[in-house]
Each structure stands twice: as C-alpha cells, then as structure tokens.
Amino acid sequence: MPKGDGTGPPRDPAQRGGRKKGNQPGAGPGGDCYCPQCNTRVTHERGTPCYDVTCPKCGAKMLRG
C-alpha cells in the first residue's frame, strides 16, 4: 500500500491467484498416468513425470490424470 489507502494486494493467500491451487487434478505424489490413445492407466511413480513414461500397450507418451 504505497499511499496507505487500503487498495494494496489481498493479505489472505487464498484470495491471491497463484500457480499452486492445492487441489488440482493430478496434484501430489499419488494418482495415475493414463494413455491418451488407448486409455490404459498405470500407477504414477513418484519422481518420474508421466510424460516420460511410455504406454505398455501402444508405446504412446502417458499423461497425468
């Protein structure tokens, strides 16, 4: 608040729009990776992004879901 008129940014972090919303689908260590071509699902392995995993059935790159 440069002028002290109360028009500064909101103080509550929940009111600020940020990159990490907390409960987005696919957020966190759990969940599945799925194939966009054949819909195969495998358990997500922590530390390995789903886009680095290939589908065991068709060989396509997996997505988080």
Domain boundaries, the chain: 28-65
How far is Cα 39 from Cα 36, in angstroms, rounded to an integer?
6
Complete edge-to-edge strand list for the sheet that includes strand 63-64: 41-43, 32-34, 63-64
Beta-carbon contacts of 30 under 8 Å, excluding residues fewer than 6 positions away, are 44
Q: What does the alpha-carbon distance between residue 54 and residue 6 come to, in Å, rounded to a whole number?
A: 52
pLDDT score, position 17? 55
Q: pLDDT of the chain along its 65 residues, tens only?
A: 566 777 776 666 555 555 555 455 555 677 899 999 999 999 999 889 999 999 999 999 999 98
pTM reported for the whole predicted model: 0.54
Cβ atoms within 10 Å of 55's Cβ, excluding its own: 19
